[in-house]
């Protein structure tokens, strides 16, 4: 089990705009928010820094359902057994 506040931030994020992705052997957390929430993603990075893969970044995501792109703020953790 992960220590606090990591555990609480992960659970709260999974209830919102985050998901778990399999990345090889273990799982990682991916947090995705609209670009306007970049400061919030940076706050989450400060809390998750011990397991973060890199600082948050801005990405453009293509939504083929509606045929347009959206700007996102994204944060990935490292793939770790505690998330598996």
Task: Flag whether 34 is in a domain.
Answer: yes
Task: Flag whether 19 is in a domain.
Answer: yes
What's the gap between Cα 81 and its chain centre? Answer: 16
Domain hosting 66: range is 6-83
pTM for the full predicted model: 0.90
Q: What is the pLDDT of residue 23?
A: 85
Task: Flag whether 56 is in a domain.
Answer: yes
49 with 4: CB under 8 angstroms?
A: no
Task: Flag whether 41 is in a domain.
Answer: yes
Q: What is the pLDDT of residue 76?
A: 98
DSSP symbols for 10-42: HHHHHTTTEEEEEETTEEEEEEEEEGGGHHHHH
Question: What does the chain come to in residues?
Answer: 84
Q: What is the pLDDT of residue 1?
A: 81
Q: Let me know how many helices (H) and strands (E) the chain has, helices first.
A: 2, 4
Task: Flag whether 1 is in a domain.
Answer: no
Task: Flag whether 23 is in a domain.
Answer: yes
Q: What is the mean pLDDT of residues 63-72?
A: 97
Share of the chain above pLDDT 90, in %: 89
pLDDT band at 58 (very low <50, low <70, confident <90, very high): very high
Q: Work out how many domains the chain is built from and give that number.
A: 1
């Amino acid at each position: 089990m992960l220590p606090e506040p990591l555990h609480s931030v992960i659970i709260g994020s999974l209830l919102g705009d985050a998901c778990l992705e399999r990345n090889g052997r273990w799982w990682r957390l991916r947090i995705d928010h609209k670009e306007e929430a970049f400061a919030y993603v940076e706050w989450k990075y400060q809390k998750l820094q011990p397991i973060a893969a890199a600082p948050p970044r801005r990405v453009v995501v293509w939504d083929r359902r509606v045929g347009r792109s959206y700007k996102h703020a994204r944060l990935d953790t490292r793939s770790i057994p505690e998330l598996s």
